[in-house]
Structure 1
Amino acid sequence: MPGIAGFFLKEGGDFVSLAKNMAQTLSQNRKHHLSLYVAQDRGLALSRVGYSFPNLGPGAGLLEDEDIALVFDGELYGETPSPDPLFLQKSLKERGLSALSELRGVFSLAVFEKGPSRLLLISDKFGLKPLYYTLVSQGVLFASEIKALLCHPGVSREPDMEALADFFYYGHLLGDRTPFRDIKLLSPGSVLILSEEGTFRVEPYWRLRELFVSQEEYEDGLLASVVEAFGEAVRKRLRFKEELGISLSGGLDSRAILAAMEEEARRIPSYTLGLKGCQDERFSAQMAQICGTRHVFVEITQEHLKDFLDLAETLIRLSDGMYHPHESTEKAALEYFRQAPFRILLRGHGGEIAKASLAYPVQPSRELLGLKDPEKAMGFIFQRANLVLRDVDPGKLFLAEELKRESSRAREALEEVLGEVAGLLHPVDLSLYYFIKEYIRRQAVASLAIFRSQVDIRLPFLDEDFLALLLRLPPQRRWSGEVHLEIIKRYRPALIKVPNSNTGAPLDAGRVRLFLTDKFNSLLKKLSLPGFRHYTEFDRWQREHFRETIKKILFAERTLKRGIYHPEGLRRVYEAHVSGQRNYAHLLGTMVGVELWFRNFVD
């Protein structure tokens, strides 16, 4: 994945070769540009790999003067009078770290101050551009991908088994953990400060808590302002229109973005990915026709299902082992991106925040609207967020002690990340806090790392100013699509009549019609009838196409010798799934992913 890499080391060998190796590890895309700065006498290296967009300036994200050197990847939103790196240089010189809280954007940033020498590593407020770091005896190394850190022989590859325990429960890691014990992810809205003497600290410059309000502060009359703020969020992300494309489904999130683009959507490339005859194919084509986009349908075919091992290893390699195969649509997407007529892609991640009851995996139920007990709210989130293990007894599946105490460890991890806000937020907002801070940042961003190997990503729903207004609305006013409907009414009302692929009904359907259509739609989807199919059928593919490859990986002597799984428990899970008795697709995909991570990163 494109991004930044570098180090600040007291001593070492050939710093230039190490810096080049780290940077080149980030991307093998020949269209990406490499910017590199090495100060051998200081033990410093800064690099960036990626597309050279105009906002990055003549150094493609790299900038140096007599006081500082910095490397920047991403983009700032709002009125910046100069290229982003130059604006950051000026702001940091004038105001120091206090300038960071006012930044709006998606970025990772490393700044070296020359006198007195210190290194600053800075993450954006939502952690949408990951920045990993590790401390070694000589100093610190950092990179947008873990694999770049492993270029240094002093970096430990020891697994963090407690982190893997979180993975087997939540389907992603929590907090700052990575699969490696000594490698951490810089927290969102934070700055890591390392001095020349080796003193080290991480401190926040912004907290997600600031976006939320107490129940007493909810305001019912803000909907029009929320709609306008979303339109502005989209407009801010339309820079470099000639590079822009949009991913469309038949649901609400991408539809709201398309609507807010208004006439700017005309002639923009758009695509929909899925099985031939899926509902998304039909409904997205209708939306594209209304808005005048240059639309294509990217079909998932049997060809994409032939080599599950190659697919799984690609996902593990591109995500540093943090996104495991559980949908298998990514291969078709990557093939399309290599020849797509855009380099920047608008996507609807985060749209669930504006329809809280649909924010997978937490999906608050109506009982949370009146709930007062923070402990019960935490328990609700804990149960809903169990994506992987489900009803499997960890004591019968695992041999590793850290994994056998899976449930208690996972609960402890949840309390670590939610404890400081559990008693302050409405239970629905506590669910959304988890969704933004952990699920989006650790699961969705890991999946986007795969896309970012070919295209840059823009996420209008994850806009600070929009969310600050949205989250002031009472939860029931942002429950199941009310905000999306108002956005579409305001900017492109013709899209209201195109049915929602999740319900089969137009967006203005009455309650009775919506109820009946939803039931009928669900039945036809289950029958997988042409025109009503779901866009993917991973559970069936896993049983029919991938089962032998999964079996070879999980029951290989190499796998069983690790002492992670109880062979008999593993066999029971595998047989229950392939026979159709249970749906353990996510669990099997995670186990395959963990084993391939060991083979590709640890062994």
Structure 2
Amino acid sequence: MCGFVGFSDPDGGGDASRATAGRMLAAVAHRGTDGSGWCHHRGITLAHCALTFVDPDRARQPFLSGSGHVSVVFNGEIYNHAALRRELRASGAALRTESDTEVLVELYERHGMRMLGRLRGMYAFALHDARTGTTVLARDPMGKKPLYYARVPRGVAFASELAALLHHPDVPRTPDPRAVADYLVLRAFPAPGSAVSGVRKVRPGCFVRHEDGVLTEVEHWRPASPGVAARTGVREAEARFTALFRSAVERRVLSTGRPLGVLLSGGLDSSAVAAVAQDVSPHGPVPTFSAGFSDTDFDESAHALLVARHLGTEHHVVRIGGRDLAEVVESEYGRADEPLADPSLLPTRIVCRAARRRVRGVLTGDGADELLLGYRFFQAERALEALLRVMPADRVEALAGAVARRLPQRSGNLPARAALAQLARGVRAAPEHRFYLATAPFAPARLPALFRPEAAGALTDHDPFAEVARLLEGRAGLSPLERSRLAVVCHFLRDVILTKTDRGGMRSALELRSPFLDVDLVEYVDALPPGLKLRGFTGKYLLRRAAAPWLPRDTVRRTKLGFRAPVAALLRGELRTLLRDTLAPAALDRGGLFDPRAVRVLLDDHLSGRRDTSRGLWALLCYQLWSDGLPAACRAPAPPAPVALTEEMRRAV
């Protein structure tokens, strides 16, 4: 893992270019602690900081192809690099290293961007081809690694994080109200947008080509249509799923000589990953790490300990209290890369920080719930489909609301009353919108009243679901459940969950690997009919069958709890003063987006206990802390000391 930056620099490469690259790279220095490097390569300046897993001594970046024509900076790992290297050598390539970076650049020399179909791994990279003057920015199919870019007067600038890109003198720094509106519904800034006007993200499964002053986006991968393998039997599907899952874990464990740990929540997904990792690891017992919350409504550490003992892992429990969570907000959110309103980032950050003291990388269970219909929402969606076939939407809405009001009020993890009430509000919506309307900090209809009149004018025709609509184009005939699943993958998995895992780990230079998001496994699961993922009201059906021989029976059958933080209590307790100060009228006046009167109602209601408005307040707090810290984030930090250019780089300059 690593961080990288770069920019078009037609006649540069001197002290000014090096200083700009140094300032940008310093903003992502936490992503790679094993050294840094920079070079000017025939019209482009590149810089890189490394967290090495494969051939660290000879694979320093920026890396040049053997011909010297192509330079690359690369964040991620190609898990099948050994097999691809053998193919390259068999075809006559004189490779100089054992690194996946060299495999990437030499494949490009031979196959161009068609090589992306050969790669199995996670990646974001920037590649410059001096033969054509072309710069290519690419992300893997699921978007596991971030990549931002912006037009600048001489071409394009790019970086692994938004904070780094903002250190380029020609990149804009003005917040984008329409993107903020997306964030307040979706909890993240969905690609291709960003928090800043004029700055974009490369979409997952896409690459952006800059050539002759023109930017062109090309989609190289998208999720398959569900139901293609409709005639697959249960036993056949289970055998194929198990083989692909085991292969996905094994690829990640064995692609590096370094031991990896597992973030073990105690739920089915991470427990299955831990089971296979323990079975294939060549390094002895696998280190596993779980969060232990002082709030018992959120604590799964006993379940994680049960699994760890069953598997024989080297287990570590990271105890987390409200003060620990508040410390992360107070010390980091003012200099966050980009606002993210997912409270689970807090415990993720703390557990990753503890794990980094023992390992450089961990496996996670991310992706299983979205791909295999594991969320309770999908069970509710199936029930909703059945109800809507026999009664009108207004009666379903009234019924759900009435049941919700009869349930007890509680503020713990996944309270049924709140979940049912939120679902009731989305009954009349399109299936692909219901998940987001049920979990949104703010419903789209409420946004104009939240914004100041001058900012609300920018929201005319605002549609937070435009990217969902794009993903569903040409997919006629999908069931409501299938449309819901694709929509959840579109934003919640890609923009929320994977942003959280990248940010939570890389702040401590810890690499997170997600076997369930292996592209071969994803493509197979995508093509399966929904009944093999959600059997009746049992989610992750194939995974439960596959994991039954590996795990305790209670683990396989357990209902998902979810990895969250007690944000409602946190805002009333440890973060109360910070919340009031950050969302005070004077502070909101500086930002110029939100109406202080509307925010005051949310504050008073939550802090008095009249109603829980923590979702909206959390989103506003995260955004406002970032916005307040934006001017400081753009000040020039001291540049890191780049490593010397390699001999190949010197010859190419």
Interval containing the TM-score (normalised by the shorter chain): 0.7 to 0.9
Secondary structure in 2 aligned to 1:352?
Answer: helix
Aligned equivalent of 1:366: 383
* Structure 1 counterpart of 2:433, one-letter code: F
How far apart are the structure 2 equivalents of 1:245 and 1:25?
27
Q: Deviations over 1:294-329 (max 9, x none)?
A: 10110012541554xx62551453432345656632
Task: Assess if the C-alpha contact under 8 Å between 2:140 and 2:204 holds in 1.
Answer: yes
The letter of the residue matching 2:462 is: R
Q: Which residue of 1 aligns with 2:547?
A: 488
Residue 300 (structure 2) aligns with: 280
Q: 1:529: which partner in 2?
A: none
Give the structure 2 partner of residue 388 of structure 1.
441
Cα RMSD of the aligned pairs, angstroms, is 3.1
The answer to whether the aligner puts 1:589 opposite 2:587 as a matched pair is no
For 1:324 and 1:204, the matched residues in 2 are separated by: 28
Shifted more, 233-242 versus 272-281: the winner is 272-281
Which residue is equivalent to 1:459?
A: 514
User: In structure 2, which of residues 242, 255, 268 is the aligned counterpart of residue 252 of structure 1?
Assistant: 268
- In 1: Cα distance, 2:62 partner to 2:288 partner: 32
**Would the alpha carbon gap of residues 314 and 325 (structure 1) be closer, same or farther in structure 2, given more than 3 Å must change?**
farther
Match of 2:568, SS state, is: helix
What is the match of residue 430 of structure 2?
379
* Equivalent position to 1:80, from 58, 66, 84: 84
Is 2:446 aligned against 1:446? no
1:290 and 1:7 map into 2 onto residues whose CA distance is 51
Cα shift readout 1:197-247 (whole Å, capped 9, x = no counterpart): 323212122223xx2345684534422211221111111111236430101
SS of alignment partner, residue 353 of structure 1: helix
Residue in structure 2 matched with residue 212 of structure 1 by the alignment: 225
Partner of 2:3: 3
Alignment partner for residue 488 of structure 2, among 412, 415, 435?
Answer: 435
Aligned amino acid, residue 442 of structure 1? D
Give matches, 1:82-101, under 5 Å: 82-101=98-117
**Paired letter, 1:258:** A
Map 1:193-232; keep pairs closer than 5 Å. 193-195=209-211, 197-208=212-223, 211-214=224-227, 217=230, 219-221=232-234, 222-232=237-247
Cα distance in 2 for partners of 1:283, 1:198 equals: 55
TM-score using structure 1 length: 0.85
CA distance in 1, matches of 2:229, 2:269: 29
Tell me the distance in 2 between the aligned counterparts of 1:337 and 1:394.
39
CA shift in 2, pair 1:439/1:139, >3 Å: same
Amino acid at match of 2:37: S
Q: Aligned match of 1:170 in 186, 194, 211?
A: 186
Rounded to whole Å, the distance in 2 between the matches of 1:48 and 1:476 is 46
The residue identity in structure 1 corresponding to 2:140 is D
Q: Establish whether residue 134 from structure 1 lines up as the match of residue 136 from structure 2.
A: no
Measured in 1, the distance between the counterparts of 2:345 and 2:48 equals 31
Structure 1 residues 602 and 161: alpha-carbon distance in aligned structure 2, compared to 1, 3 A threshold? farther
> Hey, what's the Cα distance between the residues in 2 that align with 1:420 and 1:378?
18
Q: Residue 342 of structure 1 aligns to a residue in which SS?
A: coil
Amino acid of the residue matched to residue 300 of structure 1? Answer: I
3-state SS of 2:463 partner: helix
Decide whether aligned partners of structure 1 residues 534 and 255 sit closer, same or farther in structure 2, where only a CA change above 3 A counts: closer
Question: 1:108 maps to what in 2?
Answer: 124
Say yes or no: does 1:296 pair with 2:316: yes
Q: Secondary structure at the match of 2:462?
A: helix
Distance, in Å, in 2 between the alignment partners of 1:534 and 1:63 is 39
Cα drift, residue 29 of structure 1: 6.6
Matching residue's letter, 1:212: S
CA distance in 2 between counterparts of 1:337 and 1:388 reads 31
- 1:477 correspondence with 2:512: no
Shift in Å at residue 600 of structure 1? 1.6
Equivalents in 2 of 1:181, 1:69: separation in Å? 29
Contact 1:250 / 1:280 at 8 angstroms: preserved in 2?
Answer: yes
How has the CA–CA distance of structure 1 residues 37 and 400 changed in structure 2, closer, same or farther, with 3 Å as cutoff?
farther
Q: Distance in 1 between matches of 2:308 and 2:559?
A: 18
Moved more, 419-428 or 171-180: 419-428
Cα distance in 2 for partners of 1:189, 1:544 equals 42
What SS class does the counterpart of residue 188 from structure 1 fall into? coil
- Between the two structures, name the one with larger relative contact order (CA 8 Å, sep ≥ 6): 2
Query: TM-score of the superposition, structure 2-length normalised?
Result: 0.79
Uncovered stretches (5+) of structure 1, i.e. residues with no partner: 505-532
Q: Retained in 1: the 8 A contact 2:325–2:347?
A: no
3-state secondary structure, aligned to 1:461:
helix
Residue 182 in structure 1 maps to residue 198 in structure 2: yes
Is structure 2 residue 351 aligned with structure 1 residue 333? Answer: yes
Q: Which amino acid in the other structure matches residue 59 of structure 1? A: A
Distance 2:429 2:60 in 1: 44
- Higher mean C-alpha displacement, 474-483 vs 262-271: 262-271
**Alpha-carbon distance in 1 for matches of 2:334, 2:564:** 23
Q: What letter corresponds to residue 353 of structure 1 in structure 2?
A: E
Three-state SS of the structure 2 residue aligned to 1:410 is: coil
- Render the CA deviation track for 1:154-176: whole Å, top value 9, x for unaligned: 11112111000011111112330
Percent sequence identity over aligned pairs: 22
Cα distance in 1 for residues equivalent to 2:30 and 2:468? 39
How many Å separate the matches in 2 of 1:420 and 1:428? 16
Determine the C-alpha separation between the residues in 2 that align with 1:536 and 1:77: 33
Partner secondary structure for residue 583 of structure 1:
coil
| Runs of 5+ unmatched residues, structure 2 | 86-97, 390-425, 633-653
**Which whole-Å CA distance do the structure 2 matches of 1:500 and 1:403 have between them?**
48
In the alignment, residue 24 of structure 1 is paired with which amino acid? A
Counterpart Cα distance in 1 of 2:109 and 2:317: 49
Question: What is the Cα deviation at residue 546 of structure 1?
Answer: 1.5
Contact 1:119–1:194 under 8 Å retained in 2:
yes
Distance 1:61 1:433, change over 3 A: farther
Q: Is the 8 A contact 1:318 1:453 kept in 2?
A: no
CA 1:115–1:182 in 2, change beyond 3 Å: closer, same or farther? same
| Deviation sequence 1:417-468 (CA, Å, 0-9, x none) | 3441452533322222222222122111221213222200100010111122
Contact conserved, 1:246 with 1:269, CA < 8 A, in 2?
A: yes
Measure, in 2, the Cα distance between the counterparts of 1:370 and 1:60.
59
Q: 2:431 aligns to what SS in structure 1?
A: helix
Q: 1:598/1:251 Cα in 2 relative to 1: closer, same or farther (>3 Å)?
A: same
Query: Match of 1:282, SS?
Result: helix
Which deviations, in whole Å up to 9, do the C-alpha atoms of 1:253-293 show, x marking residues without a partner?
10111222352365111111131466511111111111111
- State the 1:565 CA deviation: 2.4
Secondary structure of 1:575's match? helix
Name 1:71's counterpart in structure 2.
Answer: 73
Contact 1:298 1:333 in 2 (8 A): yes
Counterpart secondary structure, 1:54 = coil
Contact 2:250 2:280 in 1 (8 A): no
Distance 1:141 1:394 in 2: 32
- The separation in 1 between residues aligned to 2:519 and 2:126, in whole angstroms, is 22
Deviations 1:501-525 (A, max 9, x none): 6469xxxxxxxxxxxxxxxxxxxxx
- Equivalent position amino acid for 1:85 in 2: T
The 2-side partners of 1:262 and 1:327 are apart by 26
Separation in 2, partners of 1:58, 1:424: 52
Structure 1 residues 315 and 50: alpha-carbon distance in aligned structure 2, compared to 1, 3 A threshold: farther
Q: Structure 1 pair 139/405, CA: closer, same or farther in 2 (3 Å)?
A: closer
Shift of 1:495: 2.4
Does structure 1 residue 269 correspond to structure 2 residue 287?
yes
Partner of 1:49: 49
